[in-house]
Amino acid sequence: MAQMSSSAVDELKSAVRGPLLLPGDPNFDAARSIWNAMIDRHPAMILRCAGAADVRRGIAFAREHDLPLAIRGGGHNIGGSALCDDGLVLDLSSMKSVRIEPATRRAYVEPGATLHDFDHEAQAFGLATPLGINSTTGVAGLTLGGGFGWLSRKYGMTIDNLISANVITADGELLHASADSHEDLFWAIRGGGGNFGVVTQFEFGLHPVGPLVYGGLYVLPIDQAKDALVKYRASTAGTPEELSVWAVLRLAPPLPFLPPEVHGKPVIVFAMCYSGPVENGPSVVEPVRGFGTPVGEHLGPMPYAMWQQAFDPLLTPGARNYWKSHNLDRIDDGLIDALLHSIGELPSAQCEIFFGQIGGQTKRVAASATAYPSRDTQYAMNVHGRWDDASDDERCIAWARAFSDAAAPFALGSVYVNFMTQEETSRIAEAYGTNYERLVAVKSRYDPHNLFRHNQNIRPATQS
């Protein structure tokens, strides 16, 4: 920034529609804060893009002045890729339009929209597409890394429902990527992250969902967890694809349906969502209720949009977060033993380990069909370290790493790119497996100088 003339900055300000924030501006520090409080980066400027023209101008400015460039959508990425030091951040959070066409079951979504924004518009017409499980997550980052949630067993990954995207590349060109236009780019953005350009519009296919679904929480004490997990893994093959059941192990939060004496004690929670006919819900989830004797349960019909927000209170911004993750095709006995040992050593009240059940339709797509290759994943396991005080960093990070190491022998060897921290660059090849070399080729074509490198970076061939 020191070498940049004030006239160049003034020229950029006058060339864009959105505000350009600089250090010292009243809103600058708020603008550089993101979901994970462990990330504390100091950009030289933040451009709050008002539209595709601002995105193009910002990309050109970064390119011409050799500035580090970061792209912020929802700002939810665990690794903090939304920010860079001493560079330009293109903040897309003002670009929040979500347009639903119910007749064609299509959604047209800008990159600043959150899951809440998308669900709010789509559910007005009883429609949805598979997204994540926290409504404050950005649609863009979730999608570009693959995306999965409560509807994925029935309708696939988020990227399996992506019809097209408008992408601004490193040279400022606006391309429409789809199955029959810039097919290599369309393939790459379905799991390859923000390596290839800035998406200014996503087009998704929609499915009839809700507005009511059946689901909720079934909570067992930790001494029943081993038996419950054995029953859980045995039930997976027979679980209808409209039902997704996730297992979460943590200290019980003070939920109103749990007795006070359970609050703060280790529990296993089965969180479930059934998107079939609501009247069938009780019979469909009944097998889950056979996993053990609960200390509390809260099951029933609820609006899908409400369920999508159910975990928001446990995932508010401002806490320190550190994740480790593995993909699994099964839950082995040895993994259960390591898991229960780790839960016995939880370093904070907010830490948890979960098994996100996917499979179903996500497995029916060939590994080579999209950049996201992990089609053999039955459970995405995430070690979610979360705490408030920086003095606890070392202890909490050590806990997450220790369990990740203990779990590795029972895992597939692959990892979901959206769950990777910034230090895990050595796992990028694991995240993409047999698709990695093809991704390098697409990167080399669309971003040969690696302008888009503040991400889980796929380096072009010229820099490999």
pLDDT attached to residue 216: 98
Query: pLDDT at residue 2 above 90?
Result: no
Give residue-wise pLDDT tens across range 309-326: 999 999 999 999 999 999
**Residue in 317, 311, 319 with CA at minimum distance from that of residue 250:** 311
Quote the pLDDT of residue 463.
Answer: 74
**Which structure tokens are listed for 56?**
């193009």
How is the beta sheet containing 20-21 ordered, strand by strand? 20-21, 45-48, 88-91, 69-72
What is the C-alpha to C-alpha distance for residues 101 and 197, in angstroms, rounded to an integer? 26
pLDDT at 405 over 50: yes
pLDDT at residue 82 is higher than 90: yes
Tokens (6 digits) for 443? 């990167």
Share of the chain above pLDDT 90, in %: 97
Name the one residue in this structure whose structure tokens are 């347009």. 99
Report which secondary-structure segment, H or E, holds 187.
helix 183-189
State the virtual CA torsion across 216, 378, 416, 184 in degrees, nearest 10.
Answer: -120
Contacts of 397 (CB under 8 A, 6+ apart): 322, 385
Query: Each residue of 235-288: pLDDT tens digit?
Result: 999 999 999 999 999 999 999 999 999 999 999 999 999 999 999 999 999 999
Phi, psi of 458 (to 5 degrees): -100, 110
Is residue 387 scored above 70 in pLDDT?
A: yes
Residue 179 burial (C-beta neighbours within 10 Å; 0-12, 13-18, 19+): exposed
Beta strand spans in 206-349 (E): 207-208, 212-221, 243-251, 266-274, 296-303, 320-328
Confidence of residue 1 (pLDDT cuts 50, 70, 90): very low
Q: What is the mean pLDDT of the chain?
A: 97
- Per-residue confidence at 3, pLDDT binned at 50, 70, 90? low
Q: Torsion-angle region of residue 313: left (phi > 0), alpha (psi -120 to 50) or beta?
A: alpha
Nearest CA-CA partner of 371 in 132, 143, 106: 143
Residue 5's pLDDT band, with cuts at 50, 70 and 90, is confident
Give 46-100 as a DSSP string. Answer: EEE--SHHHHHHHHHHHHHTT--EEEESSS--TT-TT--SSSEEEE-TT---EEE
Longest dimension (CA), the chain: 69
The C-alpha atoms of residue 431 and residue 191 are separated, in whole angstroms, by 9
Q: How confident is the model at residue 464 (pLDDT cuts 50, 70, 90)?
A: low
> Can you tell me the mean pLDDT for 203-213?
98
Return the closest-CA partner of residue 381 out of 236, 183, 247.
247
Full-prediction pTM beyond 0.95? yes
Q: Which domains does the chain have, with CATH numbers?
A: 6-91 (3.30.43.10), 98-209 (3.30.465.10), 212-419 (3.40.462.20)
252 DSSP 8-state letter:
P
pLDDT at 378 exceeding the cut of 70: yes
